[in-house]
Structure 1
């Protein structure tokens, strides 16, 4: 009888040790738009979906996964760096039990900082709803491991948030004389977006996160869709570039302000994805690309007209194209971006790169 009790005690102790180790692994949470959505929109009645071939052609299954990519997207590659499994979409029925402790992806293609961005896609998870799901997630995890362990998991986690591009492309510039363009000039619209974004980032902090990686927009006027609409010889669309060039420095200023306000040197980290993209847009050959203007998958000028579908032309080698479709980078380009996020200088990462942030915030382990 005593032997059975000791054996049971050891078994329970062992399970508790495993649970502690699971909780103390760094969780990863993702918020934002199609650049980081890994399949939430598959579960929604929306046109903003990437659930049909040739999307996912280079994924492990060679099937569409809901990612707007030929293969892996930026969160997947960051998960590789963290030596963790890719986060599951929050709406996935597979996200339950111990898999919750890895983190979750709340992103939804089509969303922006503003609630009226993406209305044409109807049923998407707007950013404040994503934050609401994050609160729900924490309640689910607390039921699994308890409130204190949940608080620890969230505080030690890494967060990635990517917003802003759709507020320009699919809101301000979507149609001539759009509502927002009648309300604001671009120099006035950008501070308005930054003010609204501040509320989102402050809420993330209030929800307990302390390592929040905030990406800027890419060079909006240089994507194949905009080249097809506005470019004669492949030059980037000037108004969209003006928007990106105003937005990204102001976002970095916001990051500095938030870190100062919260008395935290690196709770918020700005990733200058505009500069990262421009490196291989301006000199694609230096990065192994044959073009940074023509999308791999699409039709029309620069393969930038319409959607990437089974009827589109698809390049045979995705690694030599900077853009997979009319708006989204190829997996190869995503890997170059993450390389700069992890190791880049202050030109790309402010106040420091991801490897430095994680080294300064090690996971505490119990013995």
Structure 2
């Protein structure tokens, strides 16, 4: 399996077109799986701007990425032909915003209250507000309606994990479990998510890749938090309820919104159909954990990081992020990328927008 993954990644790299990126811009929304530094200056425990995070990033610099090197979207931006990763909203400057912005924030959720026990965070509604502020600036940099430019951009949204791990399954901080059954809670999330995704569409987003939830009950922090010896079925079952409803939401958006091309990247299907090689350690973490399951500051991480699935108690290592990005970008399996993968999605509306 490892040889197959390496071969596919090599093929993706081999076919990248030199020169202009495949799309003029790439906008990223999400949580700590996608963040590249938006939380660095916030008053929150959910930040990764200290060692050992970033130990394998160019220069060994902790940037705010919750991993040892690159995020899924960092890899996707490379596959698209961008010569550098998309910068965080907090760093956006001048005409750089024309190539896109990363709005993702650690501990953020679909719901406003999610992750509040850790401190400040930029939940999805706030991310969308930041995006709309960015659009106001972009409209003065492009010829014609700004929507014509945004129609050609790629959008990815990877959020929802915290609504379970830092909300529903933390009854000591949140009343969600007392107020909603798992099915009712999934409906609540989907209802809010529908509105948020429609807002992106109404501002000009047309090519949107949405990531479903992985097997959250198999994350090390949840196994340890529940004093379990294996995956926590209750958490996985709740996440699967959300994923099933998310599939229907994607179908609904594609059917009802003219010109919309939403696609779903199923992380749970990817985990089931392309399990990690046996050599990869998925039972323990690469870094020493502090009480909130993030890395202990300035601790020494494991030496063989490519043989670990998790860097800390929540977040994958670079080797997993690369494999997920490759599958999202080029998997032909409709159980993983439906109705199309990101390569097919961005090939469907070719054409470069004109800007100053």
Taking structure 2 as the reference length, the TM-score comes to 0.88
Matched with 2:251 is 256
Tell me how far apart the structure 1 counterparts of residues 276 and 126 of structure 2 sit (CA, whole Å): 38
* Secondary structure at 2:90 match in 1: coil
Contact 1:24 1:365 in 2 (8 A): no
- 1:270 corresponding residue in structure 2: 264
Q: Any idea what SS the aligned residue of 1:322 has?
A: strand
In the TM superposition, what whole-angstrom CA distance separates every residue of 1:302-348 from its partner, at most 9, and x where no partner exists?
Answer: xx963202354521011111111100111100111111101111010
Question: Contact conserved, 2:147 with 2:203, CA < 8 A, in 1?
Answer: no
* Partner-residue secondary structure (3-state), 1:110: coil
Name structure 1 gaps, 5 residues minimum.
Answer: 1-20
Q: Give the TM-score normalised by structure 1.
A: 0.85
Aligned CA distance change for structure 1 residues 45 and 305 (closer, same or farther; 3 Å) = closer
Mapping 1:149-228, distance limit 5 Å: 150-176=146-172, 178-228=174-224
Task: Name the CA distance, whole Å, in 2 between partners of 1:23 and 1:291.
Answer: 35
Superposition pairs of residues 84-163 of structure 1, within 5 angstroms: 84=82, 85-92=84-91, 95-146=92-143, 148=145, 150-163=146-159
Instruction: Provide the rounded CA distance (Å) in 1 between the counterparts of 2:326 and 2:52.
Output: 26
| Aligned partners of 2:48 and 2:66 also within 8 Å | yes
Q: Give 1:217 shift.
A: 1.1
In structure 2, how many angstroms separate the alpha carbons of the residues matched to 1:294 and 1:321?
A: 8
Quick one: distance in 1 between partners of 2:173 and 2:101? 38
CA-to-aligned-CA distance 1:268-299 (integer Å, 9 cap, x gap):
1111012223456xx4325xx43112111134
2:238 alignment counterpart: 243
Match of 1:335 in 2: 322
- Is 1:59 paired with 2:57? yes
Q: In structure 2, what is the equivalent of residue 293 of structure 1?
A: 283
1:284 aligns with 2:276: yes
* Cα offset, 1:206, TM superposition: 0.6
Structure 1 pair 176–237 and aligned structure 2 pair: CA distance change class (3 A): farther
Kindly report the root-mean-square deviation, in angstroms, between the aligned alpha carbons of the 2 structures.
2.2
Please state whether the residue corresponding to 1:314 is helix, strand or coil.
Answer: coil
Separation in 2 of the partners of 1:142 and 1:295? Answer: 45
- Kindly tell me: are residues 194 and 63 of structure 1, through their superposed partners in 2, closer, same or farther at Cα, counting changes over 3 Å? same
Give, in whole Å, the separation in 2 of the partners of 1:228 and 1:313.
21
User: Offset at 1:121?
Assistant: 2.7
Q: Quick one: which of 25, 28, 33 aligns to 2:26?
A: 28
Q: How many residues align?
A: 334
- Report the 3-state secondary structure (helix = DSSP H, G, I; strand = E; otherwise coil) of the residue aligned with 2:277: helix
Structure 2: distance between partners of 1:260 and 1:310: 48
Q: Closer, same or farther in 2 for the Cα pair 1:137/1:146, shift >3 Å?
A: farther
Q: In 1, distance between residues paired with 2:321 and 2:241? A: 23
Q: Distance in 2 between matches of 1:177 and 1:90?
A: 29
Structure 2 residue runs without a partner (length 5+): 1-18
Greater CA radius of gyration, 1 or 2? 1
Distance in 1 between residues matched to 2:96 and 2:277, nearest whole Å: 41
**Distance in structure 1 (CA, Å) of the matches to 2:227 and 2:327:** 29
**Shift in CA distance, 40/120, structure 1 to aligned 2, threshold 3 Å:** same
Structure 2 counterpart of 1:12: none
